[in-house]
Structure 1
Amino acid sequence: MQWIPDWGQARIESMVANRPDWCISRQRTWGVPMSLFVHKETQELHPRTLELMEEVAKRVEVDGIQAWWDLDSRDILGADADSYEKVPDTLDVWFDSGSTHSSVVDVRPEFAGHAADMYLEGSDQHRGWFMSSPDDLYRDEGQSALPPGTDPRLYRLMARAARCPSLSATPFLRRT
């Protein structure tokens, strides 16, 4: 991996090595809901959590994000609703933005098999989405989602470039 400027590598390595545990949930009234149900007594996740998340996702695709907030637990849990509570927490926005590339690749067939080959971001974002992105790239026991030959780079945005409306502070995918 090539870092531009060079000092970016030492900075991110230090941040990753010394970062504390990251709580990805937030208690707010806006954002992407975690769509979880926990047992009222044990606080354990519902045993069908993945299945329930898929069901919630289908409802959100049809009715928008408000579908989660309007959801009556009985509609999805049935008889279990009395024992479980809907978690009102949302995902941290840095987690959202750091994982957006996965969503893009999943829904845009022309990007299938292609990972982002460059991150363009200001140094003030090292602690935010830039650090969450590599977490999402290493999906299976340390295996990178980046194809061989990919050259992710960090570019420091200068004030003039940051004002350019054609630049985005999110990962981009290059068609090949």
Structure 2
Amino acid sequence: MRTLYAALGRFEWGLASIGAGICLLAIMMITVISVFGRYVLMVDLIPGSYNIIERMLFPLMVFWALPIAHRDGVFPRLEILPQLLKPRLGNALAVLALLVELAVFMYLTWRLGVFAINGMEAGRTMQLGSRYFPVWPFMMMVPLAFGLMVIEMVAQILRHLRYFSTRRAGDVVCHEMT
């Protein structure tokens, strides 16, 4: 189980560092080329550059970084109150908060998955300049990212529950669950 979880972490890291990094690099390159063409050459070198950034690259960058942000504790969570309580009560409150968060993200993953599948079946496209490009591959990345977050939340809940089963304060404490 730990090996699978570690592999999942490497996959999330790859999505965030390589995938989101490439998106950020592409955003910077498109912006520089567009500004150079518009203000120096007086021509639009990349038609639809704003749409490419706004509708494809920026959402990919954000959604690819979400799972690792959740794993590393950068994603906003209810952590202040559990840290102020005794470890057992704090872990119980953390499990409750994670269960609510899990329910919300499972619902979002399901709805976004249905939306992405419908977009794929309908052949949803986006106009960039004078051409149309399929947008469904980008739409599929959102439920993938949320699904990875759901897996991470389940793992965190299991770590908190392990604290209750072992009854050892050193195993898992709510402030360590970042």
Q: TM-score, normalised by structure 1?
A: 0.21
Higher relative contact order (CA 8 A, sep 6+): 1
Bigger radius of gyration among the two: 2
Higher relative helix content: 2
Q: TM-score, normalised by structure 2?
A: 0.21
Higher relative strand content: 1
